[in-house]
Amino acid sequence: MKENYRDFPPLIDPITKENLNYISSENKEYMQSSDGSKFEILNSIPRILYEDFDYTDAFGIQWNKWRRTQLDSFTGTNITRKRLTRCLGDKICENLNDTSKETHVLEVGCGAGRFTEVLLEYSVKLVSSDLSSAVDANVINCPISPKHQVVQADVNKSPFGPNYDLVICLGVIQHTPNSEDTIKALYDSVKPGGSLVIDHYTHDLKRFTKLILLFRPIIKRLPAKQRMKFCESMVTIFLPIHKAIKDIPFAQMIFSRISPITSYFHAYPELSDELQREWAILDTHDGLTDWNKRLRTPSSIRKTLEKLGATDIEVWKGGNGVEARCKKPII
Ligand SMILES: C[S@@+](CC[C@H](N)C(=O)[O-])C[C@H]1O[C@@H](n2cnc3c(N)ncnc32)[C@H](O)[C@@H]1O
């Protein structure tokens, strides 16, 4: 850790905003603030955590259990690469490919690393962060190296200063307590002249017709084992029906509105039957156990970015709802 952390922008104390310094005592490693606050480094991951209620607990369990399920390197597909490069756009991809400069990238809400592994193929120094124990899955999939650092931290108590050429946050903001605060916190870590790339759930029909979502407040409070078992049982019952009608688009459309599970026979027919089942369990669990599930329209995302003073704002409907990117002007 000691050698590694110098290769990356400094971590800062989320409260005092002063740089954290690496210290080691009695065989333990810490990042320490000048006021004496200490954050432990475990498994080479600085844990910039407070004692608050951790609403991301279910995500941590999920990403450690299905650590490889959605990685392109595991599925043999380019599902994640396509989503990532669409969100980045040609210009940012070109910059990330430029080997003549060092591009600092911050990925927030990295989960098990489906985007991390693709980002690491570019000419970048990447810091991946997540509030949950998903960081432990991430370092197994994408080991710490001179180009990769992993930090466990809350985006809303961020240890990252305005040092990153690119801040990317996909599949995350809707799960945080306040989308606008989170977008501001992400924007704050962008270097002047740098870019922010985000996405967000939106108000589409499936969010209002899935009856199972009425039971989400109960399901998300079940003990972890029961939550998993429930999702697995639902998939065992309903996935064969999704499979049986996968070639009848109208039946597929109607059934997926009411079925309690998430199925990908339609969206990703390239996945094998075994992977269809794994993805269905994972994403049914994801969709029924997330603590917060917020929705935003493209225009509200645009307004939030405008309010922050962003330029070159592009917002469109796509992917999981709304996708957006913008730049922070050089003042
Ligand atoms: C649906 S998962 C997406 C993970 C990854 N981006 C992907 O698409 O596979 C959402 C992730 O956001 C993380 N997360 C939620 N709230 C967060 C916060 N306040 N700060 C940092 N990460 C957060 C969760 O722990 C979880 O790993």
DSSP 85-145: HHHHHHHHHHHHH-TTS-EEEEEES-TTSHHHHHHTTSSEEEEEEESSTHHHHHHHHS--B
Q: Which residues of 162-171 are buried (b: 16+ CB within 10 A; e: fewer)?
A: ebbbbbbbbb
DSSP 177-217: S-HHHHHHHHHHTEEEEEEEEEEEE---HHHHH-GGGGGHH
Range of the domain at 177: 52-202+299-327
| Residue from 67, 172, 178 whose mutation best tests the ligand 1 pocket (most atoms within 8 A of CB) | 172
Q: Per-residue pLDDT tens for 137-191? A: 999 999 999 999 999 999 999 999 999 999 999 999 999 999 999 999 999 999 9
Q: Kindly report the protein residue whose alpha carbon is nearest to atom 25 of ligand 1.
A: 132
Establish whether residue 109 lines the binding site of ligand 1, counting it when its CB lies within 6 angstroms of any ligand atom: yes
Same domain, 179 and 233: no
pTM (predicted TM-score): 0.96
Say if 11 falls within a structural domain: no
DSSP assigned state of 329? P
Same domain, 59 and 114: yes
Q: Kindly report the protein residue whose alpha carbon is nearest to atom 1 of ligand 1.
A: 171
Q: Per-residue pLDDT tens for 308-319? A: 999 999 999 999
Range 256-280 average pLDDT:
94
Same domain, 148 and 229: no
The CATH number assigned to the domain holding 145 equals 3.40.50.150
Establish whether residue 168 lines the binding site of ligand 1, counting it when its CB lies within 6 angstroms of any ligand atom: no
Say if 9 falls within a structural domain: no
Range 297-314 average pLDDT:
98
CA dihedral (110, 113, 114, 119) in degrees, to 10, reads: 80
Same domain, 269 and 320: no
Distance between CA 34 and CA 46 in Å, rounded?
Answer: 16
pLDDT band at 204 (very low <50, low <70, confident <90, very high): confident
Q: Kindly report the protein residue whose alpha carbon is nearest to atom 5 of ligand 1.
A: 111
Say if 110 falls within a structural domain: yes
Same domain, 85 and 163: yes
Same domain, 93 and 217: no
CB contact at 8 A, 293 and 175: yes
Same domain, 170 and 309: yes
Establish whether residue 44 lines the binding site of ligand 1, counting it when its CB lies within 6 angstroms of any ligand atom: no
Amino acid identity, position 173: I
Establish whether residue 323 lines the binding site of ligand 1, counting it when its CB lies within 6 angstroms of any ligand atom: no
The sheet with strand 124-130 has its strands ordered as 21-25, 28-32, 38-42, 45-48, 148-153, 124-130, 103-108, 164-169, 190-201, 321-327, 311-318
Same domain, 103 and 194: yes
Same domain, 88 and 193: yes
Distance between CA 201 and CA 186 in Å, rounded?
Answer: 17
Say if 30 falls within a structural domain: no
Tell me the CA–centroid distance for residue 244 and ligand 1, in Å. 33
Say if 119 falls within a structural domain: yes
| Residue from 79, 128, 130 whose mutation best tests the ligand 1 pocket (most atoms within 8 A of CB) | 130
| Residue from 57, 59, 151, 290 whose mutation best tests the ligand 1 pocket (most atoms within 8 A of CB) | 59
Say if 35 falls within a structural domain: no
Phi, psi of 77 (to 5 degrees): -115, 180
Q: Per-residue pLDDT tens for 52-102? A: 778 999 999 999 999 999 999 999 999 999 999 999 999 999 999 999 988
Q: Does 3 score more than 60 pLDDT?
A: no
Say if 132 falls within a structural domain: yes
Distance between CA 161 and CA 139 in Å, rounded?
Answer: 22
Q: How many domains does the chain have?
A: 2
How many C-beta atoms surround the C-beta of residue 13 within 10 A? 19
Nearest atom within ligand 1 for CA of residue 177:
19
Same domain, 167 and 190: yes
Same domain, 90 and 198: yes
Say if 4 falls within a structural domain: no
Tell me the CA–centroid distance for residue 313 and ligand 1, in Å. 23
Same domain, 158 and 75: yes
